[in-house]
Chain A
């Protein structure tokens, strides 16, 4: 699937060579035309189109930045409250990811979401243990974990 990337670059360079120019608009037009050719080819061969994966990655980054802003907002609200009334606790949430790399990525992302720090996974990898700053916000933690898991599955499959 990722071998489509060098082909795309080659198609773009070929377009630029045909025009005999290295201006950016020729590069952009070449990228568009190359993408269209590749898309048509993947329709024929039944392979997944690699730009779809790239789009998933971009969506992932945007969701991540939004979660980050919400996380900062949440911790600021609790730490500047006159009387901290949060109820900390440790919850187990089901884990759908199986490989080492994706679980590492998930824990890394989760420690940047609102009031959640992962502290371990169960030996059979079916559950992840998360320390929540506020159990009242448990649903938010569960929702962001589900969203990250969906996105990671989308990017790696």
Chain B
């Protein structure tokens, strides 16, 4: 038992944990994207879990490659920054476009404040 424990290095353990957690998040997000009934729910599933999951997997690769190449490897950090700056904006623009062009939810909303206050002007979608 102790042999197994000592033969596994800390960076390997951390890499494995991060990899599995990130892959699980990515899978959950993709399941949401594939099975949710309407566009807005799908956009929720497309945004957060896959961003966090990909960031976790990239962090795992940064840890592992830094530990095995004897120098700190910065490129995954750069990719994580890029993801966090871009994906939320894209999600938000898509959701806004969907709301403006009147994409209908699967069941009608129980509460829609924006509609009540006529805050958003609806338009026809160009397709």
Contact = CB atoms under 8 A, between A and B. Distances in A.
B61 interface: no
B74 interface: no
B113 A90 contact: yes
A75 B45 contact: yes
A87 B92 CA distance: 20
Interface string B34-64: 0111101101110111011100000000000
B32 interface: yes
A12 interface: no
Interface string A100-142: 0000000111011011011110110001010101010000000
A129 B44 contact: no
Interface residues of A, number: 35
A131 B40 contact: yes
Interface residues of B, number: 40
Contacts of A90: 99, 109, 111-115
A84 B28 CA distance: 13
Given A75-B44, A86-B41, A123-B119, A131 B29 contact: no
A114 B44 CA distance: 9
Nearest to B30: A79
Contacts of A79: 28-29, 31-32, 35-36, 45, 49
Interface string A47-90: 00000000000000000000011011001101110001011111
Leading 8 A-B pairs by shortest Cβ distance: A79-B32, A92-B113, A89-B111, A76-B28, A111-B88, A129-B114, A72-B52, A119-B99
Interface of A: 68-69, 71-72, 75-76, 78-80, 84, 86-92, 107-109, 111-112, 114-115, 117-120, 122-123, 127, 129, 131, 133, 135
5 contacts: A76-B25, A78-B32, A80-B28, A112-B51, A133-B40
